[in-house]
Amino acid sequence: MSDETNRTYPHIPLGGILRGKRALITGVANDRSIAWAIAEAFHAEGAELAFTYPGEAMGKRVLPLVERLRPAAVLDLDVSKDEDVTRCFADLRKVWDGFDILVHSIGYAPREALDGRFAEVTTREIWRITMDVSAYSLIGLTRAALPFMPKGGSIVCLSYYGAEKVVRNYNVMGIAKAALEASARYLAEDLGQDGIRVNAISAGPLKTLAAAGIKGMRSMLGENADRTPLKRNISQEDVARAALYLCSDLARNVTGEVLHVDAGQNIVGVVSMA
């Protein structure tokens, strides 16, 4: 083995690439959530975790689930309210003086927005709610996280191919994901001077609580595998591995990127000329 291939990587600790790191995870809804798979991967690699959940009803699901990972804090947070964000991070300050990673896995559109003609079902109020919760929340949470990251850090958000191309019935969520990806790029440029990296993961279709509200998702999953170059669907764990890479020193010079984890689906144009 040459010296070149046998080199060591001093920025990457052995036996747990996130050992000594702290991560705030948003968006866990159940054990099929992408955010939950990310949390498990981060925990396995040595990270200390904290979680947020939106409201008492969701808390009843989330609290028993995340307790198995021995979190430092589990906090109620409505990202659509600035005062709630302020309170949540003040409560977090009581247990952590800083953290290294923020995972944004938040998206919401009223159910009636995800079925029907885009021009007809997308009201002004639906637009406002969807963009606020699904896109602006990345900016709001990032601003609140900045005082916790004086030595730099990593922020990752979750997107979908509907941000780039039309996915039937995804409707206003596609617009929100496009705004989310653009926000990640602008934040990456803005926060680079602070040593903070911001990236997005565009995940292929998955069976999650959020996806259940999209008409036709079940048939999409059934047909999707044959349309990807790798001839398979992805799993939550695939996305978690990508997040692990982006939030570790393995990706210390990667920022402003949208990493596709979709078995190659995004590179395919016309599926067949037959």
- Would you name the residues annotated as active-site residues? 160, 170
Residue with tokens 């302020």: 86
Spatial separation of the C-alpha atoms in residues 163 and 233, rounded to whole Å: 19
Spatial separation of the C-alpha atoms in residues 167 and 160, rounded to whole Å: 10
Longest CA–CA span in the chain (Å) reads 64
Spatial separation of the C-alpha atoms in residues 168 and 129, rounded to whole Å: 20
Spatial separation of the C-alpha atoms in residues 200 and 239, rounded to whole Å: 11
Contact 198, 142 (CB under 8 A): yes
Residue type, 246: L
- Residue 264: left (phi > 0), alpha (psi -120 to 50), or beta? left
Q: Which two tokens stand for residue 7?
A: 């080199």
Spatial separation of the C-alpha atoms in residues 87 and 70, rounded to whole Å: 22
Spatial separation of the C-alpha atoms in residues 10 and 180, rounded to whole Å: 33
- Residue 143: CB partners within 8 Å, gap ≥ 6? none
For residues 217-253, one letter each, b for 16 or more C-beta atoms within 10 angstroms of the residue's C-beta and e for the rest, the string is: beebeeebbeebeeeebbbbebbbebbbbbbbeebee
Q: Which two tokens stand for residue 209?
A: 């609580």
